[in-house]
């Protein structure tokens, strides 16, 4: 039984993967097919300190979500060991 060298196997697999990747780039850039690009609206909802309770924040996020917004990030800013501000970031497709 003939044994395939690991180096040969690695080279053959590498060439195969490069071929697939190159084909994907060529077909994605085809001028006869329109590119569909989603345009997004963005919104930030800042909450100062801890002025809102968790249930209040949940209700706001649910209400915003019902308008088509998707929560994509939450950033918390701390100053002097206390939460200074929390910002909720949303996006939705432009209408």
pLDDT digits (tens, 9 = 90+) for 11-47: 555 565 556 555 555 555 556 667 788 899 999 999 8
pTM above 0.95, yes or no: no
Task: Please state, as a whole number, how many other Cβ atoms lie within 10 Å of the Cβ of residue 64.
Answer: 17
pLDDT at 7 exceeding the cut of 80: no
The single-letter DSSP state of residue 33 is S
Beta strands in 1-95 (DSSP E): 40-48, 70-79, 82-93
pLDDT at 67 exceeding the cut of 90: yes
For the chain, the structural domain boundaries read: 40-93
């Amino acid at each position: 039984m003939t044994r395939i060298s690991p180096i040969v196997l690695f080279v053959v697999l590498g060439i195969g993967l490069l071929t697939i990747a190159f084909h994907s780039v060529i077909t994605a850039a085809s001028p006869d097919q329109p590119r569909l690009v989603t345009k997004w609206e963005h919104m930030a909802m800042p909450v100062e300190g801890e002025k809102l309770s968790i249930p209040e924040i949940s209700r706001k996020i649910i209400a915003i979500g019902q308008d088509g917004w998707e929560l994509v990030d939450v950033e918390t800013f701390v100053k002097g060991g206390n939460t200074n501000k929390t910002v909720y970031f949303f996006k939705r497709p432009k209408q």
